[in-house]
Every structure is written in C-alpha cells, then in structure tokens.
C-alpha cells in the first residue's frame, strides 16, 4: 500500500512543479514557511496515504514532526492570505 501512496505522492510533486513552473530542487529548497512548499506537502498528505516520515524525507523537512506541523499550519491558513497561484493549486 505504501508503494502506491509513494507513487501518487511523486505525481503530486511533479504536478506542483509544472503548476509553479519551477524545478523540483527549487521547490524543495524553499524556506520552511513557503506556501508553495506547504501546499504541496498538504496535498500529498490529504490525497495519499504516505506517512509523515516519508513526507519529511521527500520534502526535505528534517523530521516527521516538521512535516506534521507544516501540514497543520497550512490547514489553518486563511484563504485570503494565500497567493493566487497557491489558492489555485490548493483548490485543483
């Protein structure tokens, strides 16, 4: 089951890079609070069954606690505080 989830998560990352028109390394090197990176982590978490450790490792977040916190903080974000491109990616 985890392998399928990882494949789906990789598709989300690839689609995010296309949406934002950036390379994967650029997305993953964004600062912790970057909403593009947070949206990607949130979409992976909500659309797949990967565990926080996988998300942390793949998104270069240092720990599963950081991954969990990033998703939680993004969920608490107000829609009006998000840029147009982030809102569009979140609502696809």
Provide the CATH number for the domain around residue 69. 1.10.1750
Return the SS3 of 81: helix
Report angle CA 61, 72, 12 to the nearest 5 degrees. 60
Measured distance CA(11)–CA(34) in Å, rounded: 20
Supply the Cα-derived Rg of the chain in whole angstroms: 12
Distance CA 19, CA 91 (A): 12
C-beta of residue 24 within 8 angstroms of C-beta of residue 71: no
The conformation of residue 77, written as its DSSP 8-state character, comes to: S
What is the rounded distance in angstroms from the CA atom of residue 26 to the CA atom of residue 8? Answer: 20
Q: What's the total number of domains in the chain?
A: 1
Q: Which residues form the domain of 57?
A: 2-90
Q: What is the pLDDT along the chain (92 residues), one digit of tens a residue?
A: 468 899 999 999 999 999 999 999 888 887 777 888 899 999 999 999 999 999 999 989 889 999 999 999 998 988 888 889 998 888 87
Global pTM? Answer: 0.84
């Amino acid at each position: 089951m985890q392998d399928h989830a990882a494949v789906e998560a990789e598709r989300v990352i690839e689609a995010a890079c296309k949406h934002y028109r950036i390379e994967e390394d650029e997305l993953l090197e964004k600062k912790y609070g970057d909403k593009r990176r947070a949206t990607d982590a949130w979409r992976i978490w909500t659309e797949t069954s990967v565990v926080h450790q996988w998300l942390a490792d793949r998104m270069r977040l240092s720990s599963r606690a950081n991954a969990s916190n990033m998703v939680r903080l993004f969920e608490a974000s107000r829609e009006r505080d998000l840029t147009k491109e982030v809102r569009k990616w979140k609502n696809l």
